Structure 1
Amino acid sequence: MRKCPQCKRYTLKDDCEKCNAKTVTVHPAKYSPDDKYARYRIMDKFKESS
């Protein structure tokens, strides 16, 4: 499930059909103690908020 950040519509596609904006995933990834990529996701999230 994906959501358009501009018009707030839900879709399964990578681009919104209404406004052609890139959609984002709604649900976070499942937690795993063996997650090799958690460090990169945290760094990426930190860069977005800066």
Structure 2
Amino acid sequence: MKIRKCPLCGIYTLKEECPTCKSKTIVAKPARFSPQDPYGRYRRRMKREMGKDAY
């Protein structure tokens, strides 16, 4: 069993169908960790420009 996320309304669930909007959910897994973090500078810049609510 894996946690899933609805791409339309953004809620998390364990079901394959969103209980709110009845759309198909996707597996919500984070990006793979890398000590080199090739996209870290872009992520930090976006976070600075968009504020704390960027994620």
Q: TM-score normalised to the size of structure 2?
A: 0.49
Aligned to 1:13: 15
Larger Rg: 2
Aligned partners of 2:11 and 2:29: how far apart in 1?
A: 15
Alignment: residue pair count: 29
Identity of aligned residues (%): 48
Q: Any residues of structure 2 matched to 1:1-50 within 5 Å, and which?
A: 1-27=3-29
Q: TM-score normalised to the size of structure 1?
A: 0.54
Q: Which has the higher contact order (CA 8 A, sep 6+)?
A: 1
Runs of 4 or more, structure 1, over 4 Å off, are none
Aligned to 2:39: none
Where structure 1 has 5 or more consecutive residues not aligned to the other structure, the ranges are 31-50
Aligned partners of 2:28 and 2:10: how far apart in 1?
A: 11
